[in-house]
Amino acid sequence: MRILVTGGSGMVGHYLQKLSVKYPQHEWIFISSDHDLTQFDAVERCFIQYHPDYVIHLAANVGGLYKHLNEKVRMFRSNILMNIHVVDACHRFGVQKAIFCLSTCIFPEHPPSFPMTEDMIMMGPPHPSNDNYAYSKRMLYQHCMNYNQQYGRQYICLAPVNLFGKYDNFNLQDSHVIPGIIHKIYLAKYNKTPLILPGSGQAIRQFLYAGDYAKIIARTLFEYQDVKMMICTSPVEISINQLVNKLKNATDGSIEIQYDTTQSDGIIKKTASNTYFTTVFPDFVYSDFDTKIKSVTRWFYDSLPNGLVRI
């Protein structure tokens, strides 16, 4: 079978490329930003060229809290267009099964209870700090469900919590939590200044290693026969302050930490349940969180002289 992966040069795409060698019976095709998925003509040409049997849609316009706050129009429009075009092309070109990536930011700001479960996705508006990205992902979910119900497709949506790993975006302006803090720790050490972080450090977050998520995607594609959306999380849930201390200790731990409480924490808590996931894949083994954040930190420091990270 021929598997087309969009966003193939991103963090999860890198891990999926490494994992693909374990599935040599399939032909894997990884595309990146050289294909403008916001233009349907470009998407159509891509599908005509590769004729995929399966599609894994990783491509997205993503970023951290302040990118979401400052680029609302772009975040909504680009993601809506990419998602609609790829889903529509999957159907038009006869792709029966495909994997689409959501995010747990799509869940309500005030869910009925914690942890949040798959059926709560539409039970209220998302947090305003990233609502436009969240709504674009909700529309992706709805678009997939429509095709599943009307045409019997298997367009499966996975909703991961905060992902981290090597090959991430470490740019201070639009990175996610872990790469942004790793970069700031590096600068504080280099400049011999305190580490100043936005918010209070009290926000609670869940994290999932991107290599584990790549394995989940592959297993979902080859083993999962349902179409129900699935939350993908690990047992790790810690405060930002706890996370900062772990990342600081991954180097030599000799910097001062200060919090700028005039800036937003974003949503304080958004705990998601992995109950359904563990029912589907009861044998899944997660990577050790502390080991992986140390390896990602080492990779960042080792990559700097080689220009491998975008900072």
The single residue of 15, 133, 167, 224 carrying the catalytic annotation is 133
CA distances from 293 to 34, 60, 267, 298 (A): 31, 24, 23, 9
| b/e code 25-39 from CB counts within 10 Å (16+ = b) | eeebbbbeeebebbe
Coil vs helix vs strand at 124? coil
Domain ranges for the chain: 2-306
Q: Which fold has domain 2-306?
A: Rossmann fold (3.40.50)
Q: Is 276 buried (19+), middle (13-18) or exposed (0-12) by CB count in 10 A?
A: middle
Coil vs helix vs strand at 161? coil
Coil vs helix vs strand at 2? strand
> From first to last of its 311 residues, what are the pLDDT tens digits of the chain?
999 999 999 999 999 999 999 999 999 999 998 899 999 999 999 999 999 999 999 999 987 776 777 888 999 999 999 999 999 999 999 999 999 999 999 999 999 999 999 999 999 999 888 899 999 999 999 999 999 999 999 999 999 999 999 999 998 878 889 999 999 999 999 899 999 998 999 999 999 999 999 999 999 999 999 999 999 999 889 999 999 999 999 987 789 999 999 988 888 999 999 999 999 999 999 999 999 999 999 999 999 877 667 65
- What pLDDT, in 10s, does the model give residues 237-285? 999 999 999 999 998 778 999 999 998 888 899 999 999 999 999 999 9
- The answer to whether 87 and 155 have CB atoms below 8 angstroms apart is yes
Specify whether 133 is catalytic.
Answer: yes
